[in-house]
Amino acid sequence: MIEIIILVALAFLFGSILIFLNACLNPLDKERDEVLKRLPGYNCGACGFGSCAGMVEAILKDKEAYLKCRPMRKEAKEEMKEYLENKKK
């Protein structure tokens, strides 16, 4: 029983430290994930940024960059536009 308590307490301690540090130091990470989720994820490189991760960096700098994505469908583009516009406010 005491083993379980010790391990759970340690997991809770380390987990909360990691979450807290990540939220404080890298606040853009969450946004990156959100943008990446809305990309097709083929990593084709047709946009010229190399991969979808490169595209995310470009979108964070320039909101129009997602228009260069070729395999992205129209509905997905609209969804992305909506997301980025809501982000501005």
Partner 1 sequence: MKLVSLFLTAFLTENIVLTKFLGLCPLMGNSKREENAYKMGILVVLTTVLSSIISYLFYYQILVPSNTAHLRTLVFIFTIASIVGILEILIKKYFPSLYKSMGLYIPLITTNCAVLGISILTIDNAFSFLETVIYSLGSSLGFLLVIYVFSTLRIKMDRAPILKGFQGIPIAFITLGIIALLFTRYGL
∠ CA 63-30-39, nearest 5°, is 50
Contact at 8 Å (CB) between 26 and 52? no
Q: In angstroms, what is the minimal distance from the CB of 30 to partner 1?
A: 13
Closest CB 12 distance from partner 1, rounded Å: 12
In one-letter notation, the amino acid at residue 20 is F
Q: Which stretch binds partner 1 (CB under 8 A): 21-29, 33-41, 67-75, 80-88?
A: 21-29
Q: Which of 8, 12, 18, 34 binds partner 1 (CB under 8 A)?
A: 18
- Residue 9 or 44: the one with the smaller Cβ distance to partner 1 is 9
Nearest-approach distance from CB 87 to partner 1, in angstroms: 22
Nearest of 84, 86, 88, 80 to residue 40 by alpha carbon: 80
